[in-house]
A = this chain, B = another copy of it.
Amino acid sequence: MRAVFVMIKCDLGKAYEVAEQAVETVPEVSEVHSTSGQYDLLAKFYLDDETDIGRFVTERVQTLPGVADTFTLITFNAFTRDSSPAGTRLA
C-alpha cells in the first residue's frame, strides 16, 4: 500500500461537505483535514501499488461534488516511530 496525499480546493463554502462526503464514500480515504493555506482540505489515501494514481485522483477524487481543484503529493517511504523504514508498503 502507498500513502497519497491530495490537497483539495472546494467550491466556495463547500469544504466541510466535501470532507464529510469523501470520508463516507471513498473507501481508500484514511483521513481528511481542513487546513490553512491555498487549499481547503488535505486528504490521505492508501492505494494499492498497482493503482494508477493519476486515474484515481482524476476519476474518484475530482468527481466528488464540490471539488474545484486538486494537488497530488506522492509518498515514497514512510517513517514511523515504532518501525524501521521499509518503503511505502505498510500492509
Contacts and interface: CB of A to CB of B under 8 A. Distances in A.
A54 B5 contact: no
B80 A13 contact: no
Number of copies: 8
A58 B81 contact: no
Interface in A28-80: 29-38, 40, 42, 52-55, 58-59, 62-63, 67-69, 71-80
Contacts of A88: 33
Given A16-B55, A40-B54, A58-B15, A33 B78 contact: yes
Given A13-B62, A23-B80, A87 B42 contact: no
A65 to B, nearest CB: 10
